[in-house]
Amino acid sequence: MSTSPDIAVVIGGASGIGWATAQLMAARGDTVAIADLDGDAATARAAELGGRTSGHRVQVTDEHSMRTVFDTITERHGAIGAVVDCAGISRPGTIADLSLADWKATIDVCLTGAFLSVKEATRTVRDGGSVVLVASLNGRQPGVAMSAYCSAKAGVLMLTEVAAMELAPRRIRVNAVNPGFVHTPLTSGAGLVPGLVEEYVENTPLGRAGTPEDVAQTIGFLTSDAASWMTGSAIDLNGGAHTMRYPNIIERIADMSAANGATDA
């Protein structure tokens, strides 16, 4: 069973949800390894947390890079108890307009990165440990102009279930969280489109967007003994937004362009 204090790897841990998760895990006594594409930020975050926290550069889409970083972390800290994959990108665009390169980049980081995270976990997580994959509300609720992201996150949900089956004999639990809109650097662009965040909030029964800490709390639960009977599950975490509908990004951008055109005229 996963016990705290433990050795935890937070991929994508230098920013947003990953950083909040790293802080929460360190605060409860875990030794945290922060791995991120932005290696300097990962190192700076580790220094901020102090103690035995370490920072590493990793490219989640690259098997060699993932293997090397997990080996380094194991050598430095010992057997890993929990892996949390928070790395993600979003490249919006309608299917007609989305480039194949943007489709592939999104699938690569969001889905292949999750696959390699689980794959490395099979090698380096001790029996009884756990894995948490950050999927999304968009893994189950479609959004116009979000085909790549929605498809990747839906894939993460099925990956979670398959991984849970395969790792259960070693009592390694694999779960996912499905956050709705959370204010982080990833979503800062949405704030520039008038009405977009407001439309999300209007379609959220609890009437607010999320914070990175909202998500970190649930990841903390899933990696703790309190969740010892949970595997292959996904927790919706979105103020109830899954009961309603996702904002139409393209309509909002069109409204913004029309408004700008009217101002320019």
Contacts with ligand NAI by CB under 6 A: the residue count is: 28
Which of 149, 181, 200, 246 is catalytic? The answer is 149
The nearest distance, CB 96 to ligand NAI, in angstroms, is 23
Distances (CA, A) of 132 to 115, 118, 129, 226: 12, 9, 10, 14
Binding-residue pattern over the window 196 to 225 for ligand NAI, x denoting contact by CB under 6 A: ------------------------------
Stretch that binds ligand NAI, among 22-30, 180-188, 221-229, 252-260 (CB under 6 A): 180-188
Site for ligand NAI contains 125 (CB under 6 A): no
Stretch that binds ligand NAI, among 32-40, 47-55, 72-80, 159-167 (CB under 6 A): 32-40
Listed in sequence order, the DSSP H helices in the chain are 16-27, 39-49, 63-77, 100-107, 113-124, 147-167, 196-202, 212-222, 249-264
Binding-residue pattern over the window 42 to 71 for ligand NAI, x denoting contact by CB under 6 A: ----------------xxxx----------
* CA separation for the pair 138, 148 (Å, rounded): 10
Helix then strand then coil, in percent of the chain rounded to 5, is: 50, 15, 30
**Torsion of the alpha carbons at 157, 158, 160 and 164, rounded to the nearest 10:** 150
Amino acid letter at 89?
A: I
The nearest distance, CB 237 to ligand NAI, in angstroms, is 9
Phi-psi region at 38: left, alpha or beta (left = phi > 0; alpha = psi -120 to 50):
beta
The nearest distance, CB 3 to ligand NAI, in angstroms, is 26
**One residue of 2, 56, 84, 88 binding ligand NAI per CB under 6 A:** 88
Closest residue by Cα to residue 100 from 148, 49, 140? 148
The nearest distance, CB 127 to ligand NAI, in angstroms, is 27
| Diameter over CA atoms, the chain | 67
Stretch that binds ligand NAI, among 84-92, 117-125, 225-233, 245-253 (CB under 6 A): 84-92
Count the Cβ atoms, other than its own, within 10 Å of residue 190. 18
The nearest distance, CB 8 to ligand NAI, in angstroms, is 16
Phi-psi region at 171: left, alpha or beta (left = phi > 0; alpha = psi -120 to 50):
left
Count the Cβ atoms, other than its own, within 10 Å of residue 193. 15
Binding-residue pattern over the window 131 to 170 for ligand NAI, x denoting contact by CB under 6 A: ---x-x----------------------------------
Residue 200 catalytic? Answer: no
Q: Which two tokens stand for residue 180?
A: 């709705």
**One residue of 92, 179, 239, 247 binding ligand NAI per CB under 6 A:** 179
Residues that bind ligand NAI (CB under 6 A): 12, 14-18, 36-38, 58-61, 86-89, 109-110, 134, 136, 179, 181-182, 184-187
Active-site amino acid positions = 149
